A = this chain, B = another copy of it.
Amino acid sequence: MAVPRSGSVGRPRTSSRAVIEDAAAELFLENTYALTTIEQITQRAGVSRNTFFNYFGAKSDLLWVELDAAIDRLALELQSVPHDRPALEEVRAATLRVVADIGVDRVPLALTQDDVMGTTEETRVSGLVRLARRSDLIAGFLARQLHRASDDLLVLSAANALSGAISAAWTVWARDGIGRRPLAAYMSEAFDVVSTGLTVSLVE
């Protein structure tokens, strides 16, 4: 039974999605991620529990809204790269373009409140899912540019390495907190490490 919420009839002025995200962000800060249930979130948001699953596939999706958006944009950027461009340079350029305008206000919830919320196993695992998705994306792109299969050992190794480096940049950037340099700076350093090769990068 769809009972109209008090004071308003018809379509709410703000989307349920946004209301849920806000309620979740509040509760995560109040009670930590682990101790917050989906039921609590939807109660505060004023929607039913099932509505949550209309907008999110999992509770942990709430932690990675920003990162998911960034990966979406990376997918688009890579898609529009001409087939004859050098692979590595374009991955780097596309990544830097995507993160160029990401400021302090756009840190993924999971990373911002790493200390506040406590890093549960689940927050970490859900982050790894993003790493994997970005790996797939990059592998597909490398395969296309290099005319190799996307499950080729070279392609997979490189894609995983790149995605891992990008992940490291996000992590360290978020950890550095207020006053940190732009994300792109971290990203650039991380790319250098894997581009020039660990043999060179890791000299003591």
Residues of A whose CB lies within 8 Å of any CB of B are 86-88, 121, 124-125, 128-129, 131-132, 135, 142, 145-147, 151-154, 156-165, 167-169, 171-172, 175, 186, 189-190, 193-202, 204
Contacts and interface: CB of A to CB of B under 8 A. Distances in A.
B164 A163 contact: yes
Contact of A202 (B121, B129, B135, B142): B142
A195 B198 contact: yes
* Main SS at interface, chain A: helix
Residue in A153, A167, A199 with the greatest tally of chain B CB atoms within 10 Å: A153
A128 B171 CA distance: 17
A44 to B, nearest CB: 28
Contacts of A204: 86-87, 145-147
Contacts of A154: 189, 193, 201-202
| Most chain B C-beta atoms within 10 Å of own C-beta, residue among A121, A164, A169, A196 | A164
A33 B156 CA distance: 25
A176 B191 CA distance: 30
Given A175-B151, A194-B157, A197-B194, A132 B142 contact: no
A189 B153 contact: yes
